[in-house]
Amino acid sequence: MLLAVDIGNTNIAFGLYRGEALVQTFRSETVRARTADEYGVFLRQMLALRGFEAGAVSASIIASVVPPLTDVMVDAIRQAFAREALVVGPGLKTGISILYENPRDVGADRVVNAVAAFERFHTGVIVVDFGTATTFDCISPKAEYLGGVIVPGIQVSLDGLLARAAKLSRIEIAVPPRVVGRNTTHALQSGIVHGYASLVDGVVEKLISELGFECHVIGTGGLAGLMAPHTRCLSEVDDTLTLYGLRILHERNAIQRRK
């Protein structure tokens, strides 16, 4: 089975694939101080809890936007499963053209999402990823990664506000009963949910106008499911899109690696 690992700034997502089927997922907080030994133990324990032996993992692929953790995770997988992980980076066969001014500047997660989205729809696509940053990635009908937009993520924005406003307290990110908040908690929740929904709709509208072609718009990331019902533009949500893209990338590069 294939172990797909998506290392983000806030969380690490793991997916276990048997062929094309995603059979298990689990998550961990991104802890930069954790060692390879500790991540290795964590991985073996998570698999054991789900009824899998360590020997079930026959291959692995990693996408990381946290450089200090990339080699740590490679070592952890080597120790836990005696496998060498494929790392998403320059030189990997993606199946799409990266038209960024400097392709090395594109985050691995954004490339993986672009691969996954185009593989699924084979048309113009905008991927909206609600992560530590909220990113908008544009892929043309010719399988070209064109670039996109990066804005501070929902939790990051809320944390920044709370750090600077002495009278505001931490709240749960949730949908308030109405847009007009009648207490401070509901007012903050309305701003976060409806404010970001309007931001997403506005940015996507401008992107489509500039791109000049029809786009399928898909949401992913931890808060996509919460936000999607309050947007006009998101036609689909898939919180495992990055893991799917990692599986596709592994398939495209595994034969080449064995040669």
Which residues does the annotation mark as catalytic? 109
Neighbours of 214 (CB within 10 A): 9
**Could you tell me the two tokens for 75?**
């070592």
Give ∠ CA 91-21-237 in degrees, rounded to 5.
80
- The residue whose two tokens read 């908690």 is 185
Phi-psi category of 139—alpha, beta or left, where left has phi over 0 and alpha has psi -120 to 50? beta
